[in-house]
Amino acid sequence: MEQLSTQDADFAKRFETIVDARREADSDVAGVVTDILRTVKSEGDAALADYTARFDGYALAQDHDWLITKDQCAKAYDALDSDLRDALDLAAQRIGAYHEAQLPENRDYRDADGVRLGAIWRPVDAAGLYVPGGRAAYPSSLLMNAIPARVAGVERLVVVTPTPKGNSNPLVLAAAHIAGVDEIWRIGGAQAVGALAYGTDKIAPVDVITGPGNAYVAEAKRQLYGVVGIDMVAGPSEILVVADGKNDPDWIAADLLSQAEHDPTSQSILITDDKVFAAEVEGRVNVQIDALSTATTARKSWDDHGVIIVVDNIAEQAPALINRLAAEHLELAIDNPEAMLPTIRHAGSVFLGRMTPEAVGDYVAGPNHVLPTGRRARFSSGLSVLDFMKRTSFIGLDNAAITAIGPAAAALAHAEGLPAHAKSVELRLK
Protein backbone atom coordinates (compact mmCIF):
# COMPACT_ATOMS: atom_id res chain seq x y z
CA MET A 1 0.00 0.00 0.00
CA GLU A 2 1.36 3.43 -0.98
CA GLN A 3 1.10 6.52 1.20
CA LEU A 4 1.40 10.09 -0.09
CA SER A 5 1.06 13.53 1.39
CA THR A 6 0.58 16.79 -0.45
CA GLN A 7 3.38 18.11 1.74
CA ASP A 8 5.88 15.68 0.20
CA ALA A 9 8.36 17.31 -2.16
CA ASP A 10 7.77 14.58 -4.75
CA PHE A 11 3.99 14.40 -4.31
CA ALA A 12 3.12 15.60 -7.82
CA LYS A 13 5.39 13.06 -9.46
CA ARG A 14 4.19 10.15 -7.34
CA PHE A 15 0.55 11.11 -7.80
CA GLU A 16 0.93 11.25 -11.58
CA THR A 17 2.47 7.77 -11.47
CA ILE A 18 -0.70 6.53 -9.78
CA VAL A 19 -2.91 8.32 -12.30
CA ASP A 20 -0.99 6.92 -15.26
CA ALA A 21 -0.70 3.36 -13.94
CA ARG A 22 -2.42 0.72 -16.02
CA ARG A 23 -3.76 -2.45 -14.40
CA GLU A 24 -5.30 -3.92 -17.51
CA ALA A 25 -4.66 -6.46 -20.26
CA ASP A 26 -1.30 -6.61 -22.00
CA SER A 27 -0.42 -7.43 -25.58
CA ASP A 28 -0.27 -11.17 -24.82
CA VAL A 29 -3.97 -11.13 -23.93
CA ALA A 30 -4.75 -9.24 -27.13
CA GLY A 31 -2.96 -11.84 -29.25
CA VAL A 32 -4.70 -14.77 -27.59
CA VAL A 33 -8.09 -13.11 -28.03
CA THR A 34 -7.43 -12.38 -31.70
CA ASP A 35 -6.75 -16.08 -32.29
CA ILE A 36 -9.87 -17.15 -30.37
CA LEU A 37 -12.13 -14.78 -32.27
CA ARG A 38 -10.68 -15.86 -35.61
CA THR A 39 -11.32 -19.51 -34.72
CA VAL A 40 -14.88 -18.88 -33.55
CA LYS A 41 -15.66 -16.95 -36.72
CA SER A 42 -14.38 -19.73 -38.97
CA GLU A 43 -15.36 -22.85 -37.00
CA GLY A 44 -18.48 -21.70 -35.12
CA ASP A 45 -20.07 -24.17 -32.74
CA ALA A 46 -17.20 -26.64 -33.01
CA ALA A 47 -14.82 -24.01 -31.67
CA LEU A 48 -17.21 -23.17 -28.84
CA ALA A 49 -17.43 -26.82 -27.83
CA ASP A 50 -13.66 -27.20 -27.92
CA TYR A 51 -12.98 -24.08 -25.83
CA THR A 52 -15.72 -24.95 -23.33
CA ALA A 53 -14.30 -28.43 -22.80
CA ARG A 54 -10.79 -27.04 -22.49
CA PHE A 55 -11.44 -24.06 -20.19
CA ASP A 56 -14.60 -25.05 -18.28
CA GLY A 57 -14.32 -28.83 -18.18
CA TYR A 58 -17.82 -29.11 -19.61
CA ALA A 59 -18.89 -31.04 -22.70
CA LEU A 60 -21.34 -29.44 -25.10
CA ALA A 61 -22.28 -32.80 -26.59
CA GLN A 62 -26.06 -32.73 -27.03
CA ASP A 63 -28.38 -29.83 -27.80
CA HIS A 64 -29.65 -29.77 -24.22
CA ASP A 65 -26.07 -29.27 -22.97
CA TRP A 66 -25.88 -25.84 -24.57
CA LEU A 67 -28.88 -24.04 -23.10
CA ILE A 68 -30.19 -23.37 -19.62
CA THR A 69 -33.96 -23.35 -20.00
CA LYS A 70 -36.47 -20.80 -18.75
CA ASP A 71 -38.01 -23.57 -16.66
CA GLN A 72 -34.69 -24.13 -14.88
CA CYS A 73 -34.50 -20.40 -14.15
CA ALA A 74 -38.04 -20.33 -12.77
CA LYS A 75 -37.28 -23.31 -10.52
CA ALA A 76 -34.12 -21.59 -9.24
CA TYR A 77 -36.19 -18.51 -8.38
CA ASP A 78 -38.86 -20.55 -6.60
CA ALA A 79 -36.22 -22.45 -4.61
CA LEU A 80 -34.61 -19.33 -3.14
CA ASP A 81 -34.99 -18.47 0.51
CA SER A 82 -37.67 -15.84 0.82
CA ASP A 83 -35.25 -13.16 2.04
CA LEU A 84 -33.01 -13.61 -1.00
CA ARG A 85 -35.97 -13.71 -3.35
CA ASP A 86 -37.32 -10.52 -1.81
CA ALA A 87 -33.90 -8.87 -2.09
CA LEU A 88 -33.63 -9.70 -5.78
CA ASP A 89 -37.18 -8.52 -6.39
CA LEU A 90 -36.49 -5.22 -4.60
CA ALA A 91 -33.28 -4.71 -6.57
CA ALA A 92 -35.08 -5.42 -9.85
CA GLN A 93 -37.91 -3.04 -8.99
CA ARG A 94 -35.58 -0.18 -8.08
CA ILE A 95 -33.29 -0.74 -11.08
CA GLY A 96 -36.30 -0.79 -13.38
CA ALA A 97 -37.81 2.38 -11.94
CA TYR A 98 -34.54 4.30 -12.23
CA HIS A 99 -33.93 3.24 -15.83
CA GLU A 100 -37.50 3.88 -16.97
CA ALA A 101 -36.86 7.53 -16.16
CA GLN A 102 -33.97 7.47 -18.67
CA LEU A 103 -36.16 6.69 -21.67
CA PRO A 104 -35.66 9.46 -24.26
CA GLU A 105 -38.47 11.26 -26.04
CA ASN A 106 -38.96 11.34 -29.79
CA ARG A 107 -38.89 14.78 -31.42
CA ASP A 108 -40.94 16.11 -34.34
CA TYR A 109 -41.19 19.85 -35.09
CA ARG A 110 -40.85 22.55 -37.76
CA ASP A 111 -38.24 25.27 -37.46
CA ALA A 112 -38.49 28.92 -38.50
CA ASP A 113 -37.74 28.04 -42.17
CA GLY A 114 -40.56 25.51 -42.28
CA VAL A 115 -38.23 22.51 -42.26
CA ARG A 116 -39.60 19.47 -40.50
CA LEU A 117 -37.00 17.98 -38.18
CA GLY A 118 -36.95 15.30 -35.55
CA ALA A 119 -35.65 11.99 -34.33
CA ILE A 120 -37.09 8.61 -33.43
CA TRP A 121 -35.56 6.40 -30.74
CA ARG A 122 -35.77 2.65 -31.24
CA PRO A 123 -34.29 -0.31 -29.35
CA VAL A 124 -31.81 -2.67 -30.93
CA ASP A 125 -33.30 -6.01 -31.96
CA ALA A 126 -31.10 -8.22 -29.79
CA ALA A 127 -28.70 -7.72 -26.90
CA GLY A 128 -26.06 -10.11 -25.60
CA LEU A 129 -25.26 -10.02 -21.90
CA TYR A 130 -22.06 -11.52 -20.53
CA VAL A 131 -22.36 -12.92 -17.00
CA PRO A 132 -19.13 -14.13 -15.35
CA GLY A 133 -19.07 -17.59 -13.87
CA GLY A 134 -15.52 -18.01 -12.62
CA ARG A 135 -14.10 -15.85 -9.82
CA ALA A 136 -17.32 -13.83 -9.82
CA ALA A 137 -20.91 -14.92 -10.45
CA TYR A 138 -23.09 -11.95 -9.72
CA PRO A 139 -26.89 -11.94 -10.06
CA SER A 140 -26.76 -8.19 -9.47
CA SER A 141 -24.78 -7.73 -12.69
CA LEU A 142 -27.33 -9.70 -14.65
CA LEU A 143 -30.10 -7.45 -13.35
CA MET A 144 -28.07 -4.31 -14.06
CA ASN A 145 -27.54 -5.37 -17.68
CA ALA A 146 -30.80 -7.10 -18.53
CA ILE A 147 -33.30 -4.70 -16.97
CA PRO A 148 -32.16 -1.56 -18.88
CA ALA A 149 -32.32 -3.62 -22.08
CA ARG A 150 -35.86 -4.70 -21.29
CA VAL A 151 -36.85 -1.14 -20.38
CA ALA A 152 -35.42 0.02 -23.71
CA GLY A 153 -37.68 -2.45 -25.50
CA VAL A 154 -35.13 -5.01 -26.70
CA GLU A 155 -37.05 -8.06 -27.88
CA ARG A 156 -34.33 -10.71 -27.56
CA LEU A 157 -32.07 -10.92 -24.50
CA VAL A 158 -29.28 -13.47 -24.74
CA VAL A 159 -27.04 -14.38 -21.81
CA VAL A 160 -23.74 -16.20 -22.13
CA THR A 161 -22.16 -17.53 -18.96
CA PRO A 162 -19.50 -20.15 -18.26
CA THR A 163 -20.62 -23.13 -16.16
CA PRO A 164 -17.43 -24.78 -14.88
CA LYS A 165 -17.91 -28.56 -14.66
CA GLY A 166 -21.52 -27.88 -15.63
CA ASN A 167 -22.30 -25.96 -12.46
CA SER A 168 -24.45 -22.85 -12.71
CA ASN A 169 -25.17 -20.27 -10.03
CA PRO A 170 -28.81 -20.54 -8.90
CA LEU A 171 -28.91 -16.85 -7.96
CA VAL A 172 -27.89 -15.92 -11.50
CA LEU A 173 -30.60 -18.17 -12.91
CA ALA A 174 -33.16 -16.62 -10.56
CA ALA A 175 -32.10 -13.14 -11.68
CA ALA A 176 -32.48 -14.24 -15.30
CA HIS A 177 -36.03 -15.34 -14.50
CA ILE A 178 -36.86 -11.98 -12.92
CA ALA A 179 -35.39 -10.06 -15.87
CA GLY A 180 -37.14 -12.19 -18.49
CA VAL A 181 -34.00 -13.39 -20.29
CA ASP A 182 -34.82 -15.33 -23.46
CA GLU A 183 -31.71 -17.51 -23.89
CA ILE A 184 -28.89 -18.60 -21.57
CA TRP A 185 -25.96 -20.32 -23.26
CA ARG A 186 -23.39 -22.32 -21.29
CA ILE A 187 -20.35 -20.68 -22.82
CA GLY A 188 -17.96 -18.05 -21.53
CA GLY A 189 -14.73 -16.23 -22.22
CA ALA A 190 -13.69 -14.42 -25.37
CA GLN A 191 -15.22 -17.23 -27.41
CA ALA A 192 -18.68 -16.42 -26.05
CA VAL A 193 -18.30 -12.78 -27.00
CA GLY A 194 -17.23 -13.85 -30.47
CA ALA A 195 -20.27 -16.12 -30.81
CA LEU A 196 -22.61 -13.26 -29.87
CA ALA A 197 -20.97 -10.94 -32.39
CA TYR A 198 -20.54 -13.27 -35.36
CA GLY A 199 -23.30 -15.77 -34.72
CA THR A 200 -23.00 -19.54 -35.16
CA ASP A 201 -25.35 -22.26 -36.37
CA LYS A 202 -26.86 -22.47 -32.89
CA ILE A 203 -26.55 -18.90 -31.65
CA ALA A 204 -28.01 -16.02 -33.67
CA PRO A 205 -25.90 -12.83 -33.57
CA VAL A 206 -26.84 -9.81 -31.47
CA ASP A 207 -26.51 -6.07 -32.00
CA VAL A 208 -25.04 -4.98 -28.65
CA ILE A 209 -22.90 -6.81 -26.10
CA THR A 210 -22.69 -5.65 -22.50
CA GLY A 211 -21.55 -7.02 -19.17
CA PRO A 212 -18.41 -7.48 -17.08
CA GLY A 213 -15.75 -10.12 -17.54
CA ASN A 214 -12.08 -10.88 -17.17
CA ALA A 215 -9.27 -9.37 -19.25
CA TYR A 216 -10.00 -11.73 -22.16
CA VAL A 217 -13.69 -10.83 -22.25
CA ALA A 218 -12.88 -7.11 -22.09
CA GLU A 219 -10.34 -7.45 -24.89
CA ALA A 220 -12.79 -9.41 -27.04
CA LYS A 221 -15.36 -6.64 -26.69
CA ARG A 222 -12.73 -4.07 -27.62
CA GLN A 223 -11.72 -5.97 -30.75
CA LEU A 224 -15.32 -6.57 -31.82
CA TYR A 225 -16.53 -3.01 -31.41
CA GLY A 226 -17.86 -2.03 -34.83
CA VAL A 227 -19.07 -5.55 -35.57
CA VAL A 228 -21.40 -5.00 -32.62
CA GLY A 229 -22.00 -2.21 -30.17
CA ILE A 230 -20.55 -2.57 -26.69
CA ASP A 231 -21.18 -0.88 -23.37
CA MET A 232 -17.52 -0.17 -22.59
CA VAL A 233 -14.11 -1.77 -22.24
CA ALA A 234 -14.09 -2.34 -18.51
CA GLY A 235 -10.92 -2.82 -16.52
CA PRO A 236 -10.34 -3.72 -12.87
CA SER A 237 -12.72 -2.17 -10.35
CA GLU A 238 -11.73 0.90 -8.35
CA ILE A 239 -12.99 3.03 -5.48
CA LEU A 240 -11.92 6.47 -4.29
CA VAL A 241 -13.07 7.43 -0.80
CA VAL A 242 -12.79 11.03 0.39
CA ALA A 243 -13.21 10.97 4.16
CA ASP A 244 -12.43 13.32 7.03
CA GLY A 245 -11.51 12.28 10.57
CA LYS A 246 -15.13 12.37 11.76
CA ASN A 247 -15.78 8.99 10.14
CA ASP A 248 -15.61 5.62 11.81
CA PRO A 249 -12.34 4.09 10.52
CA ASP A 250 -13.97 0.64 10.44
CA TRP A 251 -16.63 1.91 8.03
CA ILE A 252 -14.08 3.45 5.66
CA ALA A 253 -11.84 0.38 5.82
CA ALA A 254 -14.80 -1.79 4.83
CA ASP A 255 -15.62 0.56 1.96
CA LEU A 256 -12.08 0.31 0.63
CA LEU A 257 -12.12 -3.47 0.87
CA SER A 258 -15.48 -3.69 -0.89
CA GLN A 259 -13.63 -3.17 -4.15
CA ALA A 260 -10.30 -4.75 -3.20
CA GLU A 261 -12.03 -8.12 -2.82
CA HIS A 262 -13.18 -8.10 -6.45
CA ASP A 263 -9.82 -8.82 -8.04
CA PRO A 264 -6.08 -8.66 -7.25
CA THR A 265 -5.80 -5.79 -9.75
CA SER A 266 -8.62 -3.72 -8.22
CA GLN A 267 -7.63 -0.41 -6.63
CA SER A 268 -8.80 1.33 -3.44
CA ILE A 269 -7.73 4.90 -2.67
CA LEU A 270 -8.39 7.03 0.40
CA ILE A 271 -8.04 10.82 0.47
CA THR A 272 -8.19 12.38 3.94
CA ASP A 273 -6.99 15.48 5.77
CA ASP A 274 -6.28 13.63 9.03
CA LYS A 275 -2.99 11.70 9.46
CA VAL A 276 -4.20 9.96 12.59
CA PHE A 277 -7.40 8.86 10.87
CA ALA A 278 -5.36 7.63 7.88
CA ALA A 279 -3.30 5.41 10.19
CA GLU A 280 -6.45 4.13 11.91
CA VAL A 281 -8.05 3.20 8.58
CA GLU A 282 -4.88 1.41 7.47
CA GLY A 283 -4.89 -0.57 10.69
CA ARG A 284 -8.57 -1.51 10.37
CA VAL A 285 -8.05 -2.59 6.76
CA ASN A 286 -5.37 -5.02 7.87
CA VAL A 287 -7.57 -6.37 10.63
CA GLN A 288 -10.66 -6.74 8.43
CA ILE A 289 -8.82 -8.46 5.60
CA ASP A 290 -7.96 -11.42 7.80
CA ALA A 291 -11.66 -12.02 8.51
CA LEU A 292 -12.71 -12.05 4.85
CA SER A 293 -13.37 -15.19 2.85
CA THR A 294 -11.89 -13.15 -0.01
CA ALA A 295 -8.75 -12.35 2.02
CA THR A 296 -6.21 -13.57 -0.53
CA THR A 297 -7.64 -11.42 -3.30
CA ALA A 298 -8.23 -8.38 -1.10
CA ARG A 299 -4.75 -8.55 0.43
CA LYS A 300 -3.00 -8.61 -2.94
CA SER A 301 -5.16 -5.75 -4.24
CA TRP A 302 -4.52 -3.60 -1.15
CA ASP A 303 -0.80 -4.36 -0.95
CA ASP A 304 -0.14 -3.86 -4.65
CA HIS A 305 -2.55 -1.06 -5.55
CA GLY A 306 -3.97 0.51 -2.38
CA VAL A 307 -3.20 4.19 -1.81
CA ILE A 308 -3.69 6.64 1.07
CA ILE A 309 -3.31 10.34 0.29
CA VAL A 310 -3.17 12.94 3.07
CA VAL A 311 -4.06 16.49 2.06
CA ASP A 312 -3.99 19.72 4.04
CA ASN A 313 -7.52 20.78 3.15
CA ILE A 314 -10.15 18.46 1.64
CA ALA A 315 -12.42 21.18 0.27
CA GLU A 316 -9.58 23.00 -1.48
CA GLN A 317 -7.35 20.14 -2.65
CA ALA A 318 -9.50 17.03 -3.08
CA PRO A 319 -11.55 18.07 -6.15
CA ALA A 320 -8.48 18.45 -8.37
CA LEU A 321 -7.16 15.04 -7.30
CA ILE A 322 -10.59 13.46 -7.76
CA ASN A 323 -10.90 14.77 -11.30
CA ARG A 324 -7.43 13.57 -12.24
CA LEU A 325 -8.17 10.07 -10.96
CA ALA A 326 -11.64 9.95 -12.63
CA ALA A 327 -12.53 6.91 -10.56
CA GLU A 328 -15.26 4.37 -11.20
CA HIS A 329 -16.73 4.83 -7.70
CA LEU A 330 -16.35 7.98 -5.59
CA GLU A 331 -17.50 8.23 -1.98
CA LEU A 332 -17.72 11.67 -0.39
CA ALA A 333 -17.83 10.83 3.33
CA ILE A 334 -17.61 14.43 4.49
CA ASP A 335 -19.81 16.97 6.26
CA ASN A 336 -21.29 18.67 3.21
CA PRO A 337 -20.87 16.45 0.15
CA GLU A 338 -23.43 18.46 -1.84
CA ALA A 339 -21.06 21.44 -1.79
CA MET A 340 -18.30 19.37 -3.39
CA LEU A 341 -20.51 17.56 -5.91
CA PRO A 342 -20.60 20.46 -8.46
CA THR A 343 -16.79 20.45 -8.55
CA ILE A 344 -16.65 16.77 -9.58
CA ARG A 345 -16.33 16.58 -13.34
CA HIS A 346 -15.01 13.04 -13.74
CA ALA A 347 -16.42 10.07 -11.82
CA GLY A 348 -18.45 7.03 -12.77
CA SER A 349 -20.84 7.32 -9.84
CA VAL A 350 -20.78 9.48 -6.70
CA PHE A 351 -21.96 8.33 -3.26
CA LEU A 352 -22.95 11.25 -1.06
CA GLY A 353 -22.44 11.31 2.69
CA ARG A 354 -21.28 9.03 5.46
CA MET A 355 -24.33 6.75 5.25
CA THR A 356 -23.96 5.93 1.54
CA PRO A 357 -21.51 3.05 1.05
CA GLU A 358 -20.70 2.15 -2.53
CA ALA A 359 -21.95 -1.38 -1.92
CA VAL A 360 -25.55 -0.11 -1.77
CA GLY A 361 -25.11 1.12 -5.33
CA ASP A 362 -23.96 -2.33 -6.40
CA TYR A 363 -27.31 -3.83 -5.50
CA VAL A 364 -30.44 -1.88 -4.69
CA ALA A 365 -30.03 1.89 -5.07
CA GLY A 366 -31.18 1.94 -8.70
CA PRO A 367 -28.46 3.59 -10.84
CA ASN A 368 -26.41 1.17 -12.87
CA HIS A 369 -23.31 -0.36 -11.34
CA VAL A 370 -21.70 -0.99 -14.74
CA LEU A 371 -19.37 2.01 -14.76
CA PRO A 372 -16.30 3.29 -16.60
CA THR A 373 -12.94 2.28 -15.13
CA GLY A 374 -9.33 3.19 -15.87
CA ARG A 375 -10.02 6.97 -15.95
CA ARG A 376 -12.59 6.49 -18.73
CA ALA A 377 -15.06 8.50 -16.68
CA ARG A 378 -13.39 11.47 -18.37
CA PHE A 379 -15.31 10.65 -21.54
CA SER A 380 -17.88 7.93 -20.86
CA SER A 381 -20.80 7.12 -18.60
CA GLY A 382 -22.28 4.14 -16.83
CA LEU A 383 -24.56 1.67 -18.59
CA SER A 384 -28.00 3.07 -19.34
CA VAL A 385 -31.12 2.50 -21.40
CA LEU A 386 -29.46 4.46 -24.21
CA ASP A 387 -26.82 1.74 -24.65
CA PHE A 388 -29.62 -0.48 -25.99
CA MET A 389 -31.20 2.15 -28.25
CA LYS A 390 -30.31 4.14 -31.35
CA ARG A 391 -31.63 7.40 -32.71
CA THR A 392 -32.79 7.90 -36.29
CA SER A 393 -33.15 11.52 -37.37
CA PHE A 394 -35.56 12.64 -40.09
CA ILE A 395 -35.94 15.73 -42.27
CA GLY A 396 -38.87 16.95 -44.34
CA LEU A 397 -38.91 19.92 -46.77
CA ASP A 398 -41.61 21.45 -48.91
CA ASN A 399 -41.15 24.04 -51.70
CA ALA A 400 -40.89 26.94 -49.30
CA ALA A 401 -38.39 25.15 -47.05
CA ILE A 402 -36.02 24.07 -49.84
CA THR A 403 -36.21 27.58 -51.30
CA ALA A 404 -35.15 28.94 -47.91
CA ILE A 405 -32.17 26.70 -47.21
CA GLY A 406 -31.39 24.97 -50.53
CA PRO A 407 -29.17 27.70 -52.04
CA ALA A 408 -26.83 27.50 -49.06
CA ALA A 409 -26.59 23.73 -49.43
CA ALA A 410 -25.78 24.04 -53.12
CA ALA A 411 -23.14 26.70 -52.46
CA LEU A 412 -21.41 24.49 -49.90
CA ALA A 413 -21.54 21.50 -52.24
CA HIS A 414 -19.82 23.48 -55.01
CA ALA A 415 -17.22 24.71 -52.53
CA GLU A 416 -16.44 21.12 -51.58
CA GLY A 417 -16.09 20.07 -55.22
CA LEU A 418 -19.18 17.86 -55.23
CA PRO A 419 -21.24 19.00 -58.24
CA ALA A 420 -23.73 16.12 -58.10
CA HIS A 421 -24.61 17.11 -54.56
CA ALA A 422 -25.20 20.67 -55.72
CA LYS A 423 -27.24 19.60 -58.74
CA SER A 424 -29.58 17.41 -56.68
CA VAL A 425 -30.56 20.56 -54.75
CA GLU A 426 -30.51 23.05 -57.65
CA LEU A 427 -32.86 20.98 -59.82
CA ARG A 428 -35.49 21.26 -57.12
CA LEU A 429 -34.93 25.02 -56.76
CA LYS A 430 -35.76 25.47 -60.45
In 182-323, beta strands by DSSP E: 183-185, 208-210, 229-230, 238-243, 267-272, 307-310
For the chain, how many helices (H) and strands (E)? 18, 15
Packing angle of the helix pair 275-290, 295-305 (nearest 10 deg): 150
User: Is the separation of the CB atoms in 379 and 233 below 8 Å?
Assistant: no
Return the SS3 of 267: strand
In 83-211, beta strands by DSSP E: 107-110, 116-123, 126-130, 156-160, 183-185, 208-210
User: Is the separation of the CB atoms in 263 and 234 below 8 Å?
Assistant: no
In 319-428, beta strands by DSSP E: 329-333, 349-352, 389-396
329 is catalytic: yes
Give residue 166's identity as a one-letter amino acid code. Answer: G
Question: Looking at 238, 328, 331, 358, which residue is catalytic?
Answer: 328
Question: Looking at 177, 262, 329, 369, which residue is catalytic?
Answer: 329
105 is catalytic: no
The enclosing H or E element of 40 equals helix 27-43
Catalytic residue numbers read 328-329
